[in-house]
Amino acid sequence: MFIYIAGSGAMGCRFGYQLFKAGNKVVLLDKWEDHIQAIKKNGLTITGDKEDNVKIPIMHPEEATEPADLIILFTKAMQLPAMLKDIEQVIGENTKVLCLLNGLGHEDVIKQYIPEKNILMGVTVWTAGLQGPGVAILKATGSVNLQSIDPNGEKEAEKIVDVLNQAGLNVTYDKDVVPSIWRKACVNGTMNSTCALEDCTIGEFFASEDALKVVHTIIHEFVEVGQATGVTLDEKAITDYVMHTAEVAAEHYPSMHQDLVQNHRLTEIDYINGAVARKGDELGIPTPYCHMITELVHAKEHVLGIR
């Protein structure tokens, strides 16, 4: 299958690498010049659970010309509209587009560029990091849940599931993926912004009663807003899932900590707690914790001069 990875940071490199090794024709697309030049010169280097190096093509999105069978979107949320614009020329009549970004609201953005029959929405618990330009750190295992947003698209989507599974990506076709997307948003909504603001690991943050009050209140706000938009969400089950994730990832600094604190980059806050705060306002549901957390992250972005 011919596949573009649109956004080839940490996660794009993981998916691109695994699909390339499984024998697909894969092209990475990105705009980070040092990363592009490093991969062109030295190949993509893999470290972590295994060591490898592959000569995989990479280019700027607007340089891509050949329509693809599949495009996997892996930009940061705020880069998504620009990426979709930049790849318009390689979106053919039957090109499937799979979104695995964290956060909420991406479907509405993608629909502006891609016909619904070709859109697959999903969520992943795979992880990845970048050691530097051209070097991806791949550790542990994960999975993907995805669904065609067009109810008639299941059969075609199953073909994509097969291709991803041949690459070991552990993918399930989910007949109702939206609650899983919200559940992952609850994980990010309770850990990413809080650990970035408090400058701590997930385990350090989840260790106090005060922090757990914040966690429970954020989950409650997400569930109230999600349910009001018609998504079936079980607050107790989500809480258990968040607590379990916090235990497993206790040593980890969430990606928003890496973005804001370690690399002084803009965060995805507007697509996590910020998205719930905005939706809550629209629906008349109070979300004071999501509002305040979003404002504090914005304020920190201002302090750092990146907003």
**Which residues belong to the active site?**
184
Facing residues of 19 across strands?
none
- Cα–Cα distance, 96 to 118 (Å, whole number): 5
Q: Which does 124 bind (CB under 5 to 8 A by kind): ligand NDP, ligand KPL, none?
A: ligand NDP
Note whether 171 binds ligand NDP by CB under 6 A.
no
- Residue 114 Rama label (left phi>0; alpha psi -120 to 50; beta): beta
Q: What angle do CA 123, 101, 21 make, to 5 degrees?
A: 80
Indicate the residue among 9 and 226 with the shorter CB distance to ligand NDP: 9
Q: Which does 134 bind (CB under 5 to 8 A by kind): ligand KPL, ligand NDP, none?
A: none
Residues 6+ apart with CB under 8 A from 82: none
- Minimum separation from the CB atom of position 278 to ligand NDP (A): 18
Query: Whose CA is closest to 7, among 98, 96, 93, 94?
Result: 98
Residue with nearest beta carbon to ligand NDP: 9
- Cα–Cα distance, 113 to 81 (Å, whole number): 9
- Cα–Cα distance, 228 to 276 (Å, whole number): 11
Note whether 18 binds ligand NDP by CB under 6 A.
no
Among 127, 166, 172, 229, which residue sits at the site for ligand NDP (rule: CB under 6 A)? 127
Q: Which does 147 bind (CB under 5 to 8 A by kind): ligand NDP, ligand KPL, none?
A: none
Which residues, numbered 80-109, are part of the site for ligand NDP (CB under 6 A)?
101-102
Q: Which does 249 bind (CB under 5 to 8 A by kind): ligand NDP, ligand KPL, none?
A: ligand KPL
**8 A C-beta contact, residue 164 and residue 124:** no
Give the footprint of ligand NDP on this chain (CB under 6 A). Answer: 7-12, 30-32, 74-77, 79, 101-102, 124, 127-128, 130, 255, 263, 268
